[in-house]
Amino acid sequence: MELSLCNHSSYPRIGDDAEHQLLRRTIAQWDKGEKTDEAVRAAQDRMTELAIAEQVEAGLDLVTDGQIRWHDPISHLAAKLSGVRIDGLSRFFDTNFYFRQPVVQGKLERTEPLLLEEFKFAQERSARPVKVVFTGPYTLARHSVEKTGGAGGFDKMLEGYTAALAAEVAALAGAGAKVIQVEEPALLKYLDDFPRLEQSLTALAMSKDSAQLALVFYFGDPAPIYDHLQTLPVDLLGFDFTYNPDLVDKVASNGTARTLVLGLVDGRNTRLEDPASAARQLEKLARGADLNRAYLSPSCGLEFLPRGGARQKLKHLAVIRNTFLGSPS
């Protein structure tokens, strides 16, 4: 049996030693007018290369660019669209991490590529395929506020974000992206909005060409809508298994025809999972899913961990896989 390994999405932008402080220091100096935009970009480039190298070294089959250039999961995309102004800080789900909130004050439009150059840069420097990751239209709309009706209501905002990201999916697929991951954690807070998500996802799927589209949830329990998710036009489904210990049983009993991204390794805590216990979870999951084409993954982006912890978690993926497959780690 095969079981592939992948990173989830983000990776720490800094570490405790001098080499890994490069981006932090460069941005701090840029803030004071002591560094240029080019210097910041060069620091981002370097930290992206290091993030990719650490993922490859950990033995991952599918890596990301670590989202090193992202200010946060919301404003990195929204700020590039017309019709948006970026406002103050707001808490990101149940974390102690804060994003800058978009204020939508007009028609949302994509006037430039959002992630295309970042993808090209990462793929050129990676020995493994690079998965493109972005926050989905529904979650972007839920984290935006509307200024005096300028956006035309929530559904108009969702429509605008969907159109912009569908165009981006087409551009990414055209540039050779093999796997495009759409993250929609906000839906887990508004389960009744599943039809809205379905409509938005369908639009993205129509643009993906031969790329595989992954729909990923984290920071919540997808079990109540698990069966509905099977009907969506996506190739991969990804879940955070840390919020509901019974989700493994749900997948085992209800099954899936989709390729799964199995977020069994907690991306929010430095404690390493017991490999034997995780392997037992995989054995259960194998009853409902084809693990030959599944990915073992952290439960969420790894930037909620210190760099050392994130690196250990990635290496631990292989330990768990080897325990599951019965070979020495």
Partner 1 sequence: MSRAKLQGLGIDLPLFPVTAVGSFPKLDFLLKARTEFANKRIRLGALEKAERQATEFWIRKQEELGVDVLVDGEMYRGDMVAYFAEHLEGFEEGGLVRSYGNRYYHKPVITGEVHWDEPITLEWWKYARGITSKPLKGILTGPYTIMDWSFVEFYPDRHTACLALAKEIRKEVEALIEEGARIIQIDEPAISVRPEELPVAIEAMHIVTDGLPAYFIAHICYGAFENIYPGMLDLPVDNFDLEMSNSGLDMLELFKKCQYTKDISFGVVDVHTHVVEGEQVVEQRLRKALELLPKEAIWVDPDCGLKTRTVDEAIGKMQSVVTAAKALRAVTSDK
Place of tokens 């009993």: 253
Residue 71 in the binding site for partner 1 (CB under 8 A): yes
The neighbour count for residue 95, using CB atoms within 10 Å, is: 13
Q: Binding residue for partner 1 (CB under 8 A) from 110, 143, 307, 313?
A: 307
Print the binding letters for residues 87-126 with partner 1: x by CB under 8 A, - otherwise: -xx-x-xxxxxxxx--------------------------
Q: How far is the CB of 260 from partner 1 (least distance, A)?
A: 25
Q: How far is the CB of 202 from partner 1 (least distance, A)?
A: 30
Identity of the residue numbered 293: R
Residue 303 in the binding site for partner 1 (CB under 8 A): yes
Closer to partner 1 by Cβ: residue 269 or 322: 269
Q: How far is the CB of 256 from partner 1 (least distance, A)?
A: 26
Closer to partner 1 by Cβ: residue 36 or 254: 36
Residue 276 in the binding site for partner 1 (CB under 8 A): no
Beta-bridge mates of residue 179: 212
Closer to partner 1 by Cβ: residue 92 or 194: 92
Q: How far is the CB of 292 from partner 1 (least distance, A)?
A: 33
Instruction: Please give the span between the terminal C-alpha atoms of the chain, in angstroms, as a whole number.
Output: 16
Q: How far is the CB of 64 from partner 1 (least distance, A)?
A: 16
Q: Binding residue for partner 1 (CB under 8 A) from 16, 37, 38, 192?
A: 16
Q: Binding residue for partner 1 (CB under 8 A) from 3, 5, 6, 14?
A: 14
Q: How far is the CB of 149 from partner 1 (least distance, A)?
A: 17
Closer to partner 1 by Cβ: residue 160 or 185: 185
User: 14, 3, 2: which is closest to 305 by C-alpha?
Assistant: 14
Q: Binding residue for partner 1 (CB under 8 A) from 7, 15, 184, 316?
A: 15
Residues 23-52 that bind partner 1 (CB under 8 A): 24, 27-28, 31
Residues 252-271 that bind partner 1 (CB under 8 A): 269-271
Closer to partner 1 by Cβ: residue 200 or 242: 242
Q: How far is the CB of 100 from partner 1 (least distance, A)?
A: 8
Q: How far is the CB of 270 from partner 1 (least distance, A)?
A: 4
Q: What's the per-residue H, E or C state across 153-212?
A: CHHHHHHHHHHHHHHHHHHHHHCCCCEEEEECHHHHHCHHHHHHHHHHHHHHHCCCCCCE
Closer to partner 1 by Cβ: residue 94 or 109: 94
Q: How far is the CB of 106 from partner 1 (least distance, A)?
A: 23
Query: Which residues contact partner 1 (rule: CB under 8 A)?
Result: 12-16, 24, 27-28, 31, 71-72, 88-89, 91, 93-100, 269-271, 303-309
